[in-house]
């Protein structure tokens, strides 16, 4: 697994590209591209790796992913079962402010939108309250053509640019600080952890994936992810636990804790609260309340 540099093929008579996909699962490689993307997940769930962070994603959510940010929508294991009838469906808008659209973003009237994009280099998750409006706008852009499509696209960006308190998908300047060889090495580590989080991971085993000594690996991993290995593994495990807590795939919190690689309930509760800000039980209750209000 490596970070694959992508080139999104934009037709000569278009400044943006709108792509709808229906697949058995999401693309399985960590990748990046010069285009910013806005992705509406119509169906599908899993974990989004974005730069040096990760997020549980569910159907209905909308993400904006920054230019050149290594990312991967990792489908849940159920999507890869031989008898699986699951599928993922998305609509994505790709655009490059520095490409064909550079003249548009250079206009005085677009100054605030250009500033918004510059200030959000890694992208963000669109707030839940905005989903109905954003979905309608994305569908309108998908169905339009010519100047009408471009107008709808500008209008969508204008709405996003006035949205307060957006939380970045990744921290700092991560999107711009990783070379392809470094990306390949980190990606191999990510992949190993994602595949083996439920087991007792050792520093030696993980360092081996990067072809480094344990001491050198600790320095390397912290430099390029801004996480210690323990912190990153805990985030992976807690993300998986969050999904299991709300989808009814296990009968008890204890079962979930052990299946996600924690060796005690006490440790699980402590780590879970330190990462999410709430206890596992409160997380379940909060999710249930949100569902009832929909």
Question: Measured at the alpha carbon of residue 257, what is the angle toward residues 62 and 206, in degrees to the nearest 5?
Answer: 80
Question: And the tokens for 175?
Answer: 């999107």
| pTM score of the predicted model | 0.78
Residue 265 has a pLDDT of 94
Instruction: Assess whether pLDDT exceeds 70 at residue 16.
Output: yes
The answer to whether the CB of 43 falls within 8 A of the CB of 88 is yes
* Per-residue model confidence (pLDDT) at position 52: 78
CA-based radius of gyration for the chain: 20
In this predicted structure, the answer to whether residue 249 has a pLDDT above a threshold of 50 is yes
Q: The tokens of 35 are what? A: 């285009």
Q: Distance between CA 116 and CA 150 in Å, rounded?
A: 18
Go through the domains of the chain in sequence order and give each one's CATH number: 4-161 (2.60.120.280), 197-293 (1.10.10.60)
pLDDT in tens, 113-134: 999 999 999 999 999 999 999 9
Judged against a pLDDT cut of 80, whether residue 11 lies above it is answered with no
Q: Report whether pLDDT(89) > 60.
A: yes
Provide the pLDDT confidence category of residue 64 given band limits of 50, 70 and 90: very high
Query: Is the torsion defined by CA of 281, 49, 37, 89 positive or negative?
Result: negative
Give the pLDDT score at 191: 79
Number of neighbours of residue 204 by Cβ within 10 angstroms:
10
pLDDT the model gives residue 1: 36
CA gap 133, 129 in Å, rounded: 9
CA dist., res. 21 & res. 32, Å (int)? 18
The pLDDT score that the predictor gives to residue 181 is 67
Band (pLDDT 50/70/90 cuts) for residue 176 is very low
Alpha-carbon span 202 to 186, nearest angstrom: 17
Would you state the pLDDT for residue 187? 74
If you search the block for the tokens 């009838």, which residue do you land on?
Answer: 85
Tokens of 93: 């808008």
Collapsed DSSP state (helix, strand, coil) of residue 170? coil
Q: Considering only residues 173 and 231, tell me which one the structure prediction assigns the higher pLDDT.
A: 231
Say yes or no to pLDDT of 95 above 90: yes
Q: How far apart are CA 33 and CA 246, in angstroms?
A: 33
End-to-end Cα spacing for the chain: 39
DSSP at 92: E
**pLDDT of 183 over the 80 cut:** no
Q: Who contacts 177 (Cβ-Cβ below 8 Å, separation ≥6)?
A: 224
**Tokens found for residue 281:** 């039980």
Residue 2 confidence class, pLDDT cut points 50, 70, 90: very low
Residues across the chain: 294
- At residue 185, the pLDDT reads 78
Tokens of 184: 């390949």
What span, in angstroms and rounded, lies between the C-alpha atoms of 126 and 61? 7
């Amino acid at each position: 697994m490596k970070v694959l540099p992508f080139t999104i093929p934009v037709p000569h008579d278009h400044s943006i590209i709108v792509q709808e996909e229906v697949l058995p699962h999401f693309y399985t490689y960590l990748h990046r591209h010069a285009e910013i993307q806005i992705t509406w997940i119509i169906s599908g769930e899993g974990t989004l790796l974005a730069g040096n962070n990760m997020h549980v994603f569910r159907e209905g959510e909308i993400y904006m992913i920054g230019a050149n940010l290594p990312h991967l929508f990792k489908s849940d294991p159920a999507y890869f079962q031989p008898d699986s009838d699951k599928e993922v469906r998305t609509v994505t808008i790709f655009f490059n402010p520095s490409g064909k659209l550079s003249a548009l973003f250079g206009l005085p009237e677009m100054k605030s939108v250009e500033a918004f994009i510059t200030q959000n280099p890694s992208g963000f998750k669109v707030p839940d309250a905005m989903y109905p409006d954003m979905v309608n706008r994305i569908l309108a852009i998908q169905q339009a053509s010519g100047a009408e499509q471009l107008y709808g696209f500008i209008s969508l960006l204008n709405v996003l640019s006035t949205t307060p308190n957006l939380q970045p998908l990744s921290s700092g300047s991560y999107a711009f600080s990783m070379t392809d060889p470094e990306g390949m090495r980190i990606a191999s580590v990510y992949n190993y952890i994602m595949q083996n989080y439920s087991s007792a991971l050792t520093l030696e085993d993980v360092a081996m994936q990067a072809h480094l000594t344990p001491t050198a690996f600790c320095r390397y991993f912290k430099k390029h992810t801004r996480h210690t290995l323990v912190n990153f593994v805990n985030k992976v495990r807690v993300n998986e636990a969050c999904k299991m807590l709300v989808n009814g795939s296990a009968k008890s919190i204890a079962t979930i804790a052990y299946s996600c690689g924690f060796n005690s309930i006490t440790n699980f509760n402590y780590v879970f609260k330190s990462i999410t800000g709430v206890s596992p039980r409160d997380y379940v209750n909060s999710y249930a309340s949100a569902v009832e209000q929909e």
